[in-house]
Structure 1
Amino acid sequence: MTEDWRHGGFGLYLHWPFCAAKCPYCDFNSHVSAQIDQARWARAYLAEIDRIAAETGDRILNTVFFGGGTPSLMDPDLVQAILDRIRSRWRLANDLEITLEANPTSIDAGRFRAYSEAGVNRISMGMQALNDADLKRLGRMHSAAEGRRAFDIARRHFDRVSFDLIYARQDQDLTAWEAELREAVAMAVDHFSLYQLTIEEGTAFGARAAAGKLRGLPDDDLSADMYLKTQEICDSVGLPAYEVSNHARPGAECHHNLVYWRYGDYAGIGPGAHGRLTLGGQRHATEAPKSPALWLDMVERGCGELPRMALPRDEQAVEFLLFGLRLSEGIDPLRYAALAGETLPAGKIEDLTAMGLLRQTDDRIAATAQGRAVLNGIIRELMP
């Protein structure tokens, strides 16, 4: 059990906290800043890589993910320096995946060529919508035409390009979402992240909703119909859901996100970054302060991480269940039992299977397509 993380692998997440503007639906740790001292940020990232590598350098690194914020605002030389340091500190998997998140407004051919030459081999684009009216409503700074051009540029430089779309938007009906999704799948993409719009506290949309000023959101029935239509269309074109909100052609799944969902270990570097690290036989939850200024100051004083929290076995088991059942492949119940010290409730599994919400094989338990639509309820039934 002390080496349980090996079932999921080991990844490195680097958080770039800056955006050109704050989207009204976004509750990620992102900030708008007129000036960014990228040389200072480079020193901080390299110092944190050295610190984490000193603890985990005997491992093989499977994935690297530049998330944000908008990492495509990073100077290519900064990305190059980070990846050079990573290569010098860990043994790398033969199929190392290096993803960088990008917004269409920050894409140009020269910058993408430089990212590719630095070693980035996968791009995840924040497209969000394919029509100008909804892009404006979502606070996006690019037009639909700019988004398509950015996708074409990315495809010229990277074999693997994913993009995000948000559905269940204001005044969106099922016919409009179906047309938009069919347009998206025609763009020869091999991976989608398709998210239902959620209204989060602390966001501009959250404040508008609380004041009764966010009108036109679909009701639960229409949102459910949109989810089911999403599955139907993606299945029909060979992009099945390998996770609740993620669709891919076989072999094009995001390996870094699989590290999370298969409950591997991952180191988080950057403001607000979280991690899970198994050290000395104990899995720890790690977290960094959200403030970019505070994080830089802490790194320059020796460590950009808040005090770690040792995770008890029962909490690890719950996390494993929460993450693993999101995947179409499901979980190994023996692995759950090793973490929890007890087996999953057989009677409830039988009931959920009889209802068509779970499926069982000799060594896996997984939610069916019907079950993934009500996954939170399934997990509540199975949790101790």
Structure 2
Amino acid sequence: MARALYIHWPFCLKKCPYCDFNSHVRSTVDHARWEAALIADMRHEAALAGGETLKSIFFGGGTPSLMPPELVGSLLGEAERLWGFEPDIEITLEANPSSVEAAKFAGLADAGINRVSLGLQSLRDDQLSFLGRLHSVDEGIRALEVAQRHFTRTSFDLIYARPKQTAEDWADELSRALSFGTDHLSLYQLTIEPNTRFATDVRIGAFAPLDDDPSADLFELTREMTAAAGIPAYEVSNHARPGQESRHNLTYWRYQDYCGIGPGAHGRRGGTATLRHKKPENYLQSVGIHENGLKEERKLTDSESASEALLMGLRLAEGISLAEISTRFGIAVADLVDAGKIATFRDLGFLSAGEDRLRVTCKGMPVLDALLGEIVSAELVEA
């Protein structure tokens, strides 16, 4: 059942003000203890979710590039022993573009990492400061050059739709980003998440988020420029040359099984949702007692699974097959979606429907969440 493996490394040097991921700042990290805990957790999942060799592994965080290459190599060696690897397995690690972490790239490549995702976030120093990043633009570009020398595939992230950002500003920044020649870009609109420092800043009036209309204009500009450069959007915020899509993330969006280990990691295993303890200390305690970090393990109903498959699959440019989801979960197509609303939104240009395939158009992607709330059957969501 295990097609993919996600490994969460929860530690960062600093908590970014926009970040709501499960990340923690600690003065010291006992790497030997974490190696033992993650391997124990991995063995628990492999005992329950064996049967298929792994096609992808993803080290997320937190900041996985803070991990010693020896630790990464040990975890990969255990994963290969437990599951086996597909010949062309994709092994991704998220990295901050600091000079200290870039110095580890050769060692990480030797350990088995073949794809890196760099958190550049901006190509303007004033905006990196606003976003709370610890690197400069020059440092980030040097790290990107090092990554491109050592890894088969390289991607990087940028955050746009920042306060007061104009179309001209973003066009200049994105044009420079496209000039670096990577085959994959993750381009995210700045979202003010609850319980982050930015949420507090907005509440007290320290800054105002960019309004919806100019944000939508920047989204459309992003789609136009990346398509013209040959790396069109294949998901709401992800762009790639054909064949260079993130295979690991496609596992999520196509609603296939994956194991998730490490603090706060989610997983889907044969119709069962898994969740690990979020706080690092609680995770370690759980592994010490139970030999796994599980906080919750819950069998999903067919309705829940079908709803998740719809919500994830419609993020993709390829869309979803309603017939396949109907067959997979034993739910009639008429009970999956509201046919009348699909027809309405298709006529408005927000959806493309036909040949049994349902897709959200470029026009519909900026309002994806609202659109999904309308077309996915209310009975399915409430079941």
CA contact (8 A) 1:72 1:106 kept: no
Long gaps (5+) in structure 1: 1-5
Counterpart of 2:238 in structure 1 is 246
Structure 2 matches for 1:226-245, cutoff 5 A?
226-245=218-237
CA offsets, 1:53-106, max 9 Å, x none? 111222221110000000000000000000000110103222211000000126
**Letter of the structure 1 residue corresponding to residue 89 of structure 2:** L
| 1:318-347 CA distance string (max 9 Å, x none) | 101110000000001112223261213333
Distance change in 2, residues 1:179/1:299 (3 Å):
same
Match status 1:303 vs 2:301: no
How far, CA to CA, are the matches of 2:231 and 2:107 in structure 1?
30
Contact 1:325/1:331, CA 8 A, preserved across alignment: yes
Q: Could you say which residue in structure 2 is the equivalent of 1:3?
A: none
Preserved contact between residue 239 and residue 249 of structure 1 (Cα < 8 Å): yes
What are the within-5 Å matches in structure 2 for residues 258-269 of structure 1? 258-269=250-261
* 1:83 and 2:76 correspond: yes
Instruction: Determine if contact 1:108/1:153 at 8 Å carries over to the other structure.
Output: no
Q: What corresponds to 1:152 in structure 2?
A: 145
Tell me the amino acid that sits aligned with residue 328 of structure 1. A
Q: Which residue number corresponds to residue 166 of structure 2?
A: 173
**Counterpart AA for 1:219:** D
Partners of 1:125 and 1:164 within 8 A in 2: yes
Q: Which residue of structure 2 aligns with residue 342 of structure 1?
A: 332
Of 140-149 and 297-306, more deviation after overlay is shown by 297-306
Unaligned runs of 5+ in 2: 378-383
SS of residue in 1 equivalent to 2:154: strand
Partner of 1:378: 371
Aligned-pair RMSD on alpha carbons? Answer: 1.4
**Do the aligned partners of 2:99 and 2:139 also contact (CA within 8 Å) in 1?**
no
Amino acid across the alignment from 1:168:
A
Shift of 1:170: 2.2
1:274 aligns with 2:266: yes
Counterpart code for 2:216 = A
Question: Which position in structure 1 is the counterpart of 2:33?
Answer: 40
1:255 shift after superposition: 0.4
Name the SS of the counterpart of 1:242 in structure 2: coil
Select which of 196, 204, 227 maps to 1:203. Answer: 196
How far apart in 1 are the matches of 2:360 and 2:310? 11
Counterpart for residue 21 of structure 2 = 28
TM-score (norm 1): 0.94
The answer for the alignment partner of 1:126 in structure 2 is 119
- Mapped to 2, the partners of 1:106 and 1:34 lie a distance apart of 20
Measure the CA separation in 2 of the matches of 1:121 and 1:248: 17
Identical pairs, percent: 48
Distance 2:299 2:193 in 1: 29
Q: 1:329 maps to which residue?
A: 318
Which residue is equivalent to 1:74? 67
In structure 1, the partner of 2:205 is 212
Offset, 1:378:
2.4
Cα offsets for 1:248-283 (capped at 9, x unmatched): 0111100000000000111110111111110xxxx1
Alignment CA distance shift 1:106-1:312 (3 Å): farther
CA displacement at 1:108 relative to structure 2: 4.9
- 1:363: Cα distance to partner? 3.7
Deviates more, 1:104-113 or 1:243-252: 104-113
Matched residues in 2 for 1:294 and 1:110: separation? Answer: 32
Match in the other structure for 1:288: 276
Determine helix, strand or coil for the equivalent of 1:290: coil
Query: Is residue 330–residue 364 contact of structure 1 (8 Å, CA) maintained in 2?
Result: yes
Q: Distance in 1 between matches of 2:198 and 2:371?
A: 29
Question: Would you say how many aligned residue pairs link Structure 1 and Structure 2?
Answer: 372
Residue 308 of structure 1 aligns to a residue whose secondary structure is strand
Aligned counterparts of 1:272 and 1:80: Cα–Cα separation in 2: 22
Q: Does 1:365 align with 2:358?
A: yes
Moved more, 112-121 or 373-382: 373-382
Query: In structure 1, how many angstroms separate the alpha carbons of the residues matched to 2:9 and 2:36?
Result: 14
CA distance in 2, matches of 1:108, 1:244: 29
* AA of the residue aligned to 2:210: P
Query: Cα offset for 1:374?
Result: 2.1
Q: Letter of the aligned partner of 1:341 in structure 2?
A: I
Deviation at 1:109, TM superposition (A): 5.3
